[in-house]
Amino acid sequence: MNHKYASDCHNHSHCSPDGDHSVSAMLARARELGLYAWTLTDHCECQKFESRYRDRVRRAWEEMAGVEAAGLRFCRGIELGQPLEDLAAAREALGGRDYDFVIGSLHNLRDKPDFYYMDAANMDPEELHGLLDAYWDEILNMIAWGGFDSLGHLTYPLRYIQGEHGVPVDMSRHAGKLDQVFQALVQAGKALEVNTSGLRQKLGEAMPNLSLLKRYHELGGRLVTLGSDAHCAEDLGRGIDEGMELLKAAGFTEFAIYEKRRPVMLPLE
Ligand SMILES: [Zn+2]
Ligand SMILES: [Zn+2]
């Protein structure tokens, strides 16, 4: 890594259904990279907690408890997907476990499949804008709920609409809603994640991108976290150096890692 404090606070092990590698393999990679801090954040898709995630979350917690992290700052995290779809599940996932860090994510709208499955190339542009409007509204509801530390991969639908399907979206139409999201984060004291997975995927930019990071900063946003969203050991730490440079370009001087659900500010060095 090119930065002294390079830290990856969003990534997945085999405790996630779509993760490839064991916790120990991820740990070995974190050490090899020389990360300043590594936070593992396996998935808990709240609306599927009963059917698929209760045991996974338990197993992830047990495996994290067994990590021998000598010499590396290791933090225990979780990515809560769609917490508002099943608040009892979100409570149970967090209950009795002293996580360091909780990401709040939205992978699908209520009763709709993950944006991953969306056929954006064959959708009416107005329908796409409507989906994005519904996405911002649900994000605002999540911030009002507030049971997380950092908002994961804001603009996630663009990974599929623009990235996978090559359908351009006029984001100027969404500027007002995005301002509301940023203002709500600032007021609630929640962080915004810079998810660097988009840099290595077809989208070609971070989620959110530089212009949105600038806007968040203009509106008073200072809490930011960084994550590669790696689902395999090779992707751990990828894009974190670039993400730190993006933050500097957007006006930030610091970023945060979380320990015991509290931000620890680190310089962008
Ligand atoms: Zn996610
Ligand atoms: Zn993730």
Structure tokens at 165: 């399907």
**pLDDT tens-place string over residues 89-112:** 999 999 999 999 999 999 999 988
Distance 153 CA to ligand 2 centre (A): 8
Domain 7-267 has CATH 3.40.50.1220: no
**According to the model, what pLDDT value does residue 37 have?**
98
CA dihedral 143, 79, 190, 97 (to 10 degrees): 110
Banded pLDDT at 75 (limits 50, 70, 90): very high
- Give the pLDDT of residue 112: 87
For residue 41, the ligand closest to its alpha carbon is: 2
Mean pLDDT of 137-154: 98
Ligand nearest to the CA of 114: 1
Ligand 2 centroid, distance to 202 Cα (angstroms) = 17
- Least distant ligand from the CA of 115: 1
Given a cut of 90, whether residue 70 has pLDDT beyond it is: no
- Give the least confident one: 126-130, 134-138, 180-184, 220-224: 126-130
Q: Is the pLDDT of residue 118 over 90?
A: no
* CA of 167 relative to ligand 2 center, distance in Å: 23
**Closest by Cα among 60, 248, 251, 41 to 149:** 41
Task: Kindly state the DSSP code that residue 123 receives in the 8-state scheme.
Answer: S
Q: What is the pLDDT of residues 151-184, one digit of tens each?
A: 999 999 999 999 999 999 999 999 999 999 999 9
- Residue 3 Cα to ligand 1 middle (Å): 25
How far is the centre of ligand 2, averaged over its atoms, from the C-alpha of 78 (Å)?
9
pLDDT attached to residue 50: 96
pLDDT band, residue 113 (cuts 50/70/90): confident
Tell me, what's the pLDDT at 84? 98
Residue 152 Cα to ligand 1 middle (Å): 6
Looking at residue 28, what is its pLDDT? Answer: 97
Which ligand is in closest contact with the Cα of 16?
Answer: 2
Q: How far is the CA of 209 from the centre of ligand 2 (A)?
A: 17
10 CA → ligand 1 middle, Å: 9
Where helices occur in the chain by DSSP H, the ranges are 23-33, 54-65, 87-94, 125-145, 156-158, 175-188, 197-200, 210-218, 240-249
pLDDT score at 111: 83
Q: What is the pTM of this model?
A: 0.97
Ligand 2 centre to CA of 229 (Å) is 5
- How many angstroms does the Cα of residue 70 sit away from the middle of ligand 1? 28
Any idea which ligand is nearest the CA of 12?
2
Question: Does 71 score more than 90 pLDDT?
Answer: no
Of the ligands numbered here, which is closest to the C-alpha atom of 105? Answer: 1
Q: How many contiguous H segments (helices) and E segments (strands) does the chain have?
A: 9, 9
DSSP states of 138-202: HHHHHHHH---SEE--TTHHHIIIIIIT-----GGGGHHHHHHHHHHHHHHT-EEEEETHHHHST
* Average pLDDT taken over every residue of the chain: 97
Which residues lie at CB < 5 A from ion ligand 2? Answer: 79, 229
Least distant ligand from the CA of 81: 1
CA of 65 to the centre of ligand 2 (A): 20
**Mean pLDDT over residues 109-124, rounded?**
89
Ligand showing the shortest atom-to-Cα distance for residue 9: 2
For the stretch 13-57, pLDDT in tens is 999 999 999 999 999 999 999 999 999 999 999 999 999 999 999
